[in-house]
Amino acid sequence: MALTFFDIKAAAPREKRYKLSDGDGLYLLVQPNEHKFWRYRYRFAGIEKMLAVGPFPDVSIAEARAKRDAARKRLGDGVDPSVQKKLDRIAAETAARNTFGLIVEEFLGNLEANGAAASTMSKNKWLLEDLAKPLANRPVAEITAAEILDLLKRIEKTGRRETARRLRGVIGSVFRLAVVTLRAPGDPTQALAGALLRANSKPRAAITEERKFGALLRAIDDYDGWPTIKAALKFLSLTFARPGEVRGACRSEILFDKLTWRIPGERTKTRRPHDVPLSRQALDVIQDMWPLSDDADLLFPSIRSASKPLSENALNAALRRMGFGPDEMTAHGFRASASTILNEREFNPDVIEAALAHQHENEIRRVYNRAAYWKERVAMMQTWADLLDEFRALPPEKSAPPKKK
């Protein structure tokens, strides 16, 4: 006969534990200390077994019967409910250990092992360990698209739209790692396509008019700040390499016999070595700096230490001191200046792209460019350096006379 709530409440403890049957193998075990537990007795493969269903009143009569019925269904499917319960517990514990934060650690470890640049590692750590910190302790398989969207929208509301979009992308990369290692059923960031606002993209400021660029070059020549900053800006204008590549330039990378600056792959954005032809003017800058870096390998060492490169902000700060605001010119803008002016002067666009070390999606074309355009690049870099001297000599742009009233 099935138990009622009043039957259970009236079941007083005895000297020894005893059972109250509810039917179909389910019973209530009453302990001498007044505690009461649901148990389900069944047979599997001819062996009698027992399944702990839970304590009363935490597990009500209806819940206990539902669990008994689910166990009986498993038996009908040929599954031992006690074994299945153990497997479910192990799966839950595994899921709890497979947190988003742990997958992030593995993802970052893979990035580093694959030779990611220091700047790439720093950005990914900031995005995943700082901005995505609210997800760190969550089981990765339980994180929903709505949960991620809430995090991204909070960042978006601060005006950092591009940051929100980048974070969505890198979170997606972490989930893809979790998916292929069977720790998550899918990537919830895929459902967020179109859910974020467009980034307010703003190109890096650059001077692209030749006369104004000449004024910038004269300002650099007259700069009275730290010599390595002045030299680095000159070298940047002559090579139009990336600022980080110039700041980290080493004496060991200068091949005087080949008139080449060989930037190793670990310091380039594309993670591939990049050779830069050195003009006569670029060699003059190197030779001027050479005696100042005898104690270390860096060509443009920091003000504070010969073993450390110039800081990331040093070049831009110098430009500000010369009177060029952030909306007018940046250290990275030298690349845009060279690209624009050289294209306007109808240099071969492929040669310009090869000099800028832009990575083509087509692997064959990328290899071909590196091999085929070297002579053209050597000639172009010397022509460019000569053009800079011409730009310096251009008279300043005159102000227009006031209009007659």
Tens digits of residue pLDDT in 359-398? 654 544 454 445 558 999 999 999 999 999 999 999 876 5
Class of domain 100-192: mainly alpha
**pLDDT-based confidence at 258, cuts 50/70/90?**
very high
**pLDDT-based confidence at 402, cuts 50/70/90?**
very low
84 pLDDT above the threshold of 90: no
Q: How confident is the model over 199-203, as a mean pLDDT?
A: 64
**pLDDT-based confidence at 292, cuts 50/70/90?**
confident
Residue of 212, 234, 242, 377 marked catalytic: 242
Residue of 74, 230, 335, 377 marked catalytic: 335
User: Which of residues 344 and 272 earns the better pLDDT score?
Assistant: 344
Q: pLDDT exceeding 70 applies to what percent of the chain?
A: 91
CATH number for the domain formed by residue range(s) 210-393: 1.10.443.10
Residue of 39, 183, 332, 377 marked catalytic: 332
Q: How confident is the model over 149-160, as a mean pLDDT?
A: 91
Q: How confident is the model over 151-169, as a mean pLDDT?
A: 91
Q: How confident is the model over 89-93, as a mean pLDDT?
A: 72
Q: How confident is the model over 154-183, as a mean pLDDT?
A: 91
Active site residue 392: no
pLDDT at 371: 55
| Strands across the sheet containing 274-277 | 254-255, 260-263, 274-277
Domain boundaries, the chain: 5-94, 100-192, 210-393
Residue of 41, 160, 358, 392 marked catalytic: 358
Q: In CATH, which of 3.40.50.300, 3.30.160.390, 3.90.76.10, 3.40.50.720 is domain 5-94?
A: 3.30.160.390
Residue of 251, 368, 370, 392 marked catalytic: 368
Tens digits of residue pLDDT in 101-116? 999 999 999 999 988 8
90 pLDDT above the threshold of 80: no
Crossing angle of helices 227-239 and 314-321, in 10° steps, is: 100
pLDDT at 218: 96
Least-confidence region, from 44-48, 116-120, 284-288, 360-364 = 360-364
Distance, in Å, from the CA atom of 23 to the CA atom of 40, rounded to the nearest integer, reads 10
pLDDT at 94: 66
Across the chain, mean pLDDT equals 87
Q: pLDDT exceeding 90 applies to what percent of the chain?
A: 53
Q: How confident is the model over 5-14, as a mean pLDDT?
A: 86
What would you report as the CA-atom Rg of the chain, rounded to the nearest whole angstrom? 35
Phi and psi of 70, rounded to 5°?
-65, -40
State the SS3 of the chain. CCCCHHHHHHCCCCCCCEEEEEECCEEEEECCCCCEEEEEEEEECCEEEEEEEEEECCCCHHHHHHHHHHHHHHHHCCCCHHHHHHHHHHHHHHHHHCEHHHHHHHHHHHHHHCCCCHHHHHHHHHHHHHHCHHHCCCEHHHCCHHHHHHHHHHHHCCCCHHHHHHHHHHHHHHHHHHHHCCCCCCCHHHHHCCCCCCCCCCCCCCCCCHHHHHHHHHHHHCCCCCHHHHHHHHHHHHHCCCHHHHHCCEHHHEEHHHCEEEECHHHCCCCCCEEEECCHHHHHHHHHHHHHHCCCCECCECCCCCCCECCCCHHHHHHHHCCCCCCCCCCCHHHHHHHHHHHHCCCCHHHHHHHCCCCCCCHHHHHHHHHHCHHHHHHHHHHHHHHHHHHHHCCCCCCCCCCCC
Amino acid (1-letter code) at residue 248: G
Active site residue 332: yes
Phi and psi of 395, rounded to 5°?
-65, 150
**pLDDT-based confidence at 399, cuts 50/70/90?**
very low
Distance, in Å, from the CA atom of 274 to the CA atom of 270, rounded to the nearest integer, reads 9
Active site residue 368: yes
Of 14, 64, 16, residue with least CA distance to 38: 64
Residue of 17, 160, 262, 269 marked catalytic: 269
